[in-house]
Amino acid sequence: MAVAGGAAPLGSSVISLVNRLQDIFSRVGSHSAIDLPQVAVVGSQSSGKSSVLEALVGRDFLPRGNDICTRRPLVLQLVQTKPPSQEEFGEFLHLPGRKFHDFSQIRAEIQAETDREAGGNKGVSDKQIRLKIFSPNVLDITLVDLPGITKVPVGDQPSDIEAQIRTMIMSYIKTPTCLILAVTPANSDLANSDALQMAGIADPDGNRTIGVITKLDIMDRGTDARNLLLGKVIPLRLGYVGVVNRSQEDILMNRSIKDALVAEEKFFCSHPIYSGLADSCGVSQLAKKLNKILAQHIKAVLPGLRARISASLVTLAKEHASYGEITESKAGQGALLLNILSKYCDAFSSMVEGKNEEMSTFELSGGARIHYIFQSIFVKSLEEVDPCEDLTDDDIRTAIQNATGPKSALFVPEVPFEVLVRRQISRLLDPSLQCARFIYDELMKISHRCMVTELQRFPFLRKCMDEVLGNFLREGLEPSETMITHVIEMEMDYINTSHPNFIGGSKAIEAAVQQTRSSRIALPVSRVKDALESDKGSASERSGKSRSILARHANGVVADQGVRAASDVEKVVTSGNTGGSSWGISSIFGGGDNRVSVKEMTASKPHTEPVHTVQSFSTIHLREPPPVLRPLESNSETEAVEITVTKLLLKSYYDIVRKNVEDLVPKAIMHFLVLRIHLLGFAK
C-alpha cells in the first residue's frame, strides 16, 4: 500500500508509545490488569484476513496453505519510517537485533516459530509471536492476527479445536480497550458470519467493531453487498470497508500486491453498485480508517491507562521499599535470615492463637477454624451417631445365640454386649483419624497464608520454608494418629462395666421390661415381678432372678422347663470372701456368686451303681448341618427383653466411650500437632 512520502502519520506518537509499552510488557512477561489498546483481526478460516494484512503491509510475508494458516496470535506492529529512508525490514521480538530484509525469510521464521510452539501438524497455541515491520509505505497501526475459526479438526488438532479458538479470540476482543476488525467474505451468508457473531457478543453495542467485507468481486451474479456496507443489515458505529483481495490464481501467478491494489481501485470505481462507495472502499481507505480510529481510541483510553500505570508504579514502589537494602556480608545475611524466620513463627503462632492483627474480619480463620473442626464437626458428628442404628434385631439375636455355648442354656448378656460394643467402639477410629488430618490440612493453610513481608523478597526461601514446615507438621501428625489409635484400642481392650455412669444389668432389665410393656408385649407376671423386684434382694438373689428371666435354650428357642431345670440343678457355692466381685455375669448384674456346674458336682461322687449291658438297636442317622445357619426367631417376650437389654447396655457404654474419645482426641491432636510449632528452635 503506497503512502505519500510527505504525509505525517496520524497519531504516530501515541501509537508508538503503546507499541513500546506492549514490547516492555511482553519482555517482562507481565500479566497485569493493564490492557493496552490494540486491534484484533477476527475471521473464519479462508475469510481472506491474511490477504488483508499483507495488503496493508504491501508485501507477501504470511504463511499460506489450504488449511489453517495462522496458528498462533501474531502481533503485527506497522511503523512508518521517515524520509529519506526507503528501507523496508522486519524484526521479531524473540530475535532482538536481527533485521529481516527478505520478506520470504519473515514468512519462514513465522512458520518455524509457530512449529516450535504449536508443532508441525496444524496444532494451535495462544503464545504470541511479535513482529514489527518498518516501511515508508505503511501507516502506524498495531494489529493482532488471531487464528481463523475452523469447524473440522485436521492434523494434530483436538476435537474441540473450534471451542479453543473461540475462547482464544474472546480473551482478546472482550476487553474494552481492544478494537475488533471483523473480516467476513461477501460470498457467504453475512447474517451468520462467525466474525460478526463473536464481535456482537464481545461488543453488543457495536462501538468497537470495524467490519471488513472481502471477496466482493466473486459474489453470485445479481447479488451485492451494498446494504451491508451501508450498515443496513448489521449496524456498526465504526462502519464497514469493502476490499478486493488477490485470488488464489493471482498468488500462484505471482501477481504483485501493488498490481492488485491498482485492480482493486479500478473495480470499485467502475462497478455500477459500488462506484458511489469508492471513497470508503479499498485497502488504502481501510489503512487510513484503522490509523485514525486507533489513534482516537488510544487518546480516549489514555487517561485511564495513565492512572492504572501510575497506581501500579506506586504499589510496586512500596513493595520494592519493603524488601530493604541488599546485605552483602555473611553475618548480615544470617541475621536477616533469623529475623525472617522468627517473624514467620511469631505470625504463625499468633494466627493459631487468634491474636494476629491481619486476620480477616469477614470469615473465621486460624485457631477459630481449628476449634470449629473440633466442636462443630468432630464432636457433633460423634454425638449424632446411634450405636444401634446399623444393628438390626437379627444382628443382636445372632450375637446372643452365638454367645450361648454348648455347655450352657443360659443367656449371658455380657458376651454379646462385649462383642457388639467393641464393634461400635472401633467405628470411632476413622472419624478420629480424619479429624487429625483436617487439623493438619488447616495448619498447612495457615502456613501458606502466613506471609511475612520480608519473605516476598526471597521466593526460594519461602518455598523451602513451606517444605520444611510441611515435613515438620507431618512428623507431628504421625504420633497424633498413633495416640488416637491407642486410645480407641484401650477402650476396646477393657470394657469397664463398673463405670459409675454405666446403666448396669438390673436397671437395663427394668427399663427393658418397661419398653416391652409399652410395646404391648405381655410378659409372664412372675418374670415381670422378678424384673421389677430385682433391687430388693441380695446381690446373689438379683443375679439368680436375672438369669431365670433370661434363661433360654442354646438353639434360641425359649423353654420354661429348661429354666426351671437349670435353676434346680445349679447350686450356688459361696466363697470365703462374700463381699468381693468377680469378672463375669456379676460384673453387669452386680452378683458376687461363684457357680459349680452339675458335671463337677456329680464327678465328685463315686459311681456305686452297677453297669448294665446296652441292648443293640438300629443305627440312627443324623442329617448334615446346613453350611449357613441362621439364628432362630422365637418372637417371644423373653427374646424381646434380651434384645432390648443388649441395646440399652450398648447405648449406655457407647456414650461413655464417646465422651472419652471426644475429650482425648482433640487433646492428642493439640499436644502432638498444633502446639508442635512452639518446639521449633527459632520460635522466639
Q: What CATH code is carried by the domain that includes residue 150? A: 3.40.50.300
Same domain as 218, residue 82: yes
- Highest average pLDDT, of 179-183, 290-294, 613-617, comes from 179-183
Same domain as 491, residue 373: yes
Res 680: pLDDT: 59
Query: pLDDT tens for residues 169-227?
Result: 999 999 988 999 999 999 887 778 899 999 999 999 989 999 999 999 888 888 888 98
Same domain as 58, residue 206: yes
Same domain as 258, residue 183: yes
Same domain as 496, residue 431: yes
Same domain as 264, residue 383: no
Same domain as 191, residue 79: yes
Residue by residue, DSSP assigns 463-494 as HHHHHHHHHHHHHHHHHHHHHHHHHHHHHHH-
Among 246, 272, 301, which residue terminates a domain?
301
* Number of domains the chain is built from: 2
Q: Do the beta carbons of residue 551 and residue 413 sit within 8 Å?
A: no
Question: By residue range, what is the domain housing residue 430?
Answer: 343-515+636-682
Q: Is residue 602 part of a domain?
A: no
Query: pLDDT tens for residues 543-591?
Result: 443 444 344 433 443 333 333 333 333 333 333 333 333 334 444 544 4
Same domain as 377, residue 288: no
- Please state, in angstroms and rounded to a whole number, the distance separating the CA atoms of residues 235 and 59: 32
CA 198 to the chain's CA centroid: 31
Q: Which residues contact 508 (CB under 8 A, 6 or more apart)?
A: 413, 588, 645, 648, 649, 652
Among 280, 301, 322, which residue terminates a domain?
301
Q: Is residue 576 part of a domain?
A: no
- Please state, in angstroms and rounded to a whole number, the distance separating the CA atoms of residues 283 and 36: 25
Query: Which carries the bigger pLDDT value, residue 658 or residue 352?
Result: 658
Same domain as 356, residue 258: no
- Highest average pLDDT, of 57-71, 306-320, 402-416, 587-601, comes from 306-320
Average pLDDT, the chain: 77
Res 197: pLDDT: 92
Among 301, 328, 351, which residue terminates a domain?
301
Residue 498 in this model has a pLDDT that exceeds 80: yes
Residue 110 in this model has a pLDDT that exceeds 90: yes
Q: Is residue 138 part of a domain?
A: yes
Q: Which residues contact 386 (CB under 8 A, 6 or more apart)?
A: 651
Q: Do the beta carbons of residue 635 and residue 642 sit within 8 Å?
A: no
Same domain as 355, residue 290: no
Crossing angle for the helix pair 637-672 and 429-449, to the nearest 10 degrees? 30
Q: Is residue 661 part of a domain?
A: yes
Q: Do the beta carbons of residue 158 and residue 186 sit within 8 Å?
A: no
Q: Is residue 264 part of a domain?
A: yes
- Please state, in angstroms and rounded to a whole number, the distance separating the CA atoms of residues 246 and 253: 10
Same domain as 375, residue 282: no
Query: Which carries the bigger pLDDT value, residue 644 or residue 286?
Result: 286
Query: pLDDT tens for residues 148-171?
Result: 888 888 877 788 888 999 999 999
Q: In the 8-state DSSP scheme, what is residue 583?
A: S
Same domain as 187, residue 125: yes
Q: Is residue 551 part of a domain?
A: no
CATH number at residue 649: 1.20.120.1240
Residue 635 in this model has a pLDDT that exceeds 70: no
106-120, 203-217, 284-298, 562-576: least confidently modelled range? 562-576
- Phi/psi at 490 (nearest 5 deg)? -65, -40
User: Is the whole-model pTM more than 0.75?
Assistant: no
Q: 239: pLDDT confidence band, cut at 50, 70 and 90?
A: very high
Q: Is residue 532 part of a domain?
A: no
Q: Is residue 334 part of a domain?
A: no
Res 600: pLDDT: 43
Average pLDDT over residues 297-306: 85
